[in-house]
Structure 1
Amino acid sequence: MGVTHFLLLSTLCLAITAQECEKPQPGPNMQLRGDDILLETFANGSSVSFDCDVGYTSAGGSSTIVCTNGKWSTIKLRCKKRNCGATDEVINGNVDYLEGTEYGAILKVVCNPGFQPVGGSKEIRCEAQGWTGRLPSCEAVVCEPPPPVVGGSFNPVKDMYSYRDAITYSCQRDYTLVGAKTISCSDEGILTPNPPQCVATVECEEPVIKNAIWSGGARPPYKYKSLVTYKCNTGFIMEGEGSLTCQIDGKWSPAFPTCKDRLHPTDKPTEPGNRGNTVGIVVGVLVIVVLALGAGGYLFYRKKKSSHENYPDNVPTKDGEDLPLSVRRWTTKHT
């Protein structure tokens, strides 16, 4: 009886002294399984298990640990990213794995030249269940036929055009082709460049450039894209472009140049508002000249008159040549 009581007391003491375990910390990319995630403490001898996170799979090792005297056993489980692996092949195209094949990676289907993706998902991603979405298929590129062209035609004429098929345009008489003569079906299923037009033929008038002459290029009649070149006459300098091109609207481009006198390249016509000023300046100068001439004549007259008061006439010569009457009288009077 005493032995039995001793054993019971010993067991009770061991149970009282045994320590609980706190919630275990999971390893990388894993979490507690089931309701254990809700508990904060665990009794001595308790066991818990772990599961790998979404997108990760077990790489080996036991997923269970045990609480012993307040300590958990070592976690053996290892978790690695899920690898979705290679997907199906695509006829007339390739699969481009942009970020590998592990969880979260994205792939893209690239079709061969002359083929384009049709159908399928816009984005295919490696998820926990594998690749999500449906791969598109690569189908041959086709282009719709171009619209009819007024004043012209194109060849060949088909219901549909395949990749790189070429279409050539031509215009009727008295029409001019504006745009590319040949277009083709691109890898995007679009005719490039844009189809041309046939426009009624236009003519440009002969350029009239003052002080310039024709130096090369086309001769009349001047059609669309006709090119002419002008140069200035001797003694003149050109301002602007000497080469002109007839445009589809019947006008020359660029604007006509001007030929200016080489000796007076900066001379400009007098503006109407400045003509009055110019006339005023000229009149003023003339008045000054007239006044100056008048003053000079008056001074000359005064000097001559003063001279005549003392010497009425010219001084007699020594040779006794004939003198004016006034001089002779003056000489007789004073001799």
Structure 2
Amino acid sequence: IQCPAQTAPANGAISPTGWQNYQVTVSYTCNNGYVRSGATSATCQADGTWSNPVHTCTPVPCPALTAPNNGALNPLAGPYVYQNQVTVTCNSGYQLSGVSSLTCQANGQWSNAVPTCAPGQCSALTAPTNGARTPPTGSNSFGNTVTFTCNTGYVLNGPVTATCQADGTWSNPVPTCTPRKCPALTSPTNGALSPAEPYSYPNQVTVTCNSGYQLNGVSPVTCQADGTWSNTVPTC
């Protein structure tokens, strides 16, 4: 009496193969990365049939994955099984730290840990000349904002703030701090000013009188931080 040859399951094998005689036992196995579902063997019976049907081989499952903060998985969810690949991406403004592609391996483990998504970085900003930035250092990660101010006697030219953007650039350039201007001065009658305008903080102007005239008042006068002169122009 013989039993008919059995067909090996997908991703598995039968040993021995072909037609088999009564009482011969064949073994079922699965390829690496697959799990057997069913009997491990079958015996040829007196009626010419096998004692068990051919088993099936299903892919080994891998644990569920959780998307990183500020990131996503593709495909979005499992179940994940042997040879499946998952790609990790980060949201705009965030940079991936780790391996972006994970593969479910034959042992049921992932090839790599899920990477993280850290805020992207912008170049370091320096305070403007004759000014300051708040905070004084750092704060160059995505979403951070830096505020600029000028020292006393200086005027800010440009935006007050700059924000680190998703593309790694700042929303605004660093502004400049220019000296505050003072009003123009008129030379006294029978006198002169030195130097000539324009005048700005902390310029000093010297007033002199022509030969034969005496100065009445204070010289020099200084352009102050608030944009006013320290004294009125003297007379001659």
Mapping for residues 201-240 of structure 1, pairs under 5 Å: none
Residue 101 of structure 1: which of 70, 79, 82 is its match?
79
Cα distance in 2, alignment partners of residues 137 and 48 from structure 1: 49
1:126 matches 2:104: yes
Q: Is the Cα–Cα contact under 8 Å of residues 21 and 69 in structure 1 kept in the other structure?
A: no
- TM-score by length of structure 2 reads 0.50
In the alignment, structure 1 residue 156 sits paired with structure 2 residue 134:
yes
Q: Write the distance in 1 (CA, Å) between the matches of 2:78 and 2:122.
A: 35
Report the CA distance between 1:183 and its aligned residue: 2.7
The equivalent of 2:144 in structure 1 is 165
Within 2, Cα distance between the matches of 1:139 and 1:68?
A: 64
Q: Secondary structure of the equivalent of 2:61?
A: coil
Aligned residue number for residue 47 of structure 1: 25
- The CA deviation at 1:51 is 2.0
Aligned to 2:173: 195
Give the equivalent residue in structure 2 for 1:136. Answer: 115
Please tell me whether the aligned partners of residues 106 and 124 of structure 1 are also in contact (alpha carbons under 8 angstroms): yes
User: For the pair shown, which has the larger CA radius of gyration, 1 or 2?
Assistant: 1
| CA distance in structure 1 between the partners assigned to 2:121 and 2:71 by the alignment | 20
1:227-265 alpha-carbon deviations (Å, 9 max, x no partner)? xxxxxxxxxxxxxxxxxxxxxxxxxxxxxxxxxxxxxxx
CA gap of 1:51–1:152, structure 2 versus 1, over 3 A, is farther
| SS, match of residue 124 in structure 1 | strand
* Residue in structure 1 matched with residue 125 of structure 2 by the alignment: 146
Report if the CA contact (8 A) 2:27-2:42 is conserved: yes
The Cα of 1:168 is off from its aligned counterpart by 5.0
Call closer, same or farther: CA 1:138–1:109 in 2, change over 3 Å. same
Q: 1:148 to 1:93 in 2, by over 3 A?
A: closer
C-alpha distance 102-165 of structure 1, shift in aligned 2 (>3 A)? closer
User: Does 2:42 correspond to 1:65?
Assistant: yes
Mapped partners of 2:131, 2:58: distance in 1: 66
**Percent of paired sites with the same residue:** 20
Give deviations 1:4-58, integer Å, cap 9, x for gaps.
xxxxxxxxxxxxxx44754x2123443225xx3xx55544432212223443323
**Root mean square deviation, CA, Å:** 4.5
Partner Cα separation in structure 2 for residue 123 and residue 43 of structure 1 = 50
Unaligned runs of 5+ in 1: 1-17, 199-335
Could you say which structure has the higher helix fraction? 1
The code of the aligned residue for 1:164 comes to G
Structure 2: any 5+ residue segments left out of the alignment? 177-236
Q: Name the structure, 1 or 2, with higher relative contact order (CA <8 Å, separation 6+).
A: 2
Give the total of aligned pairs: 170
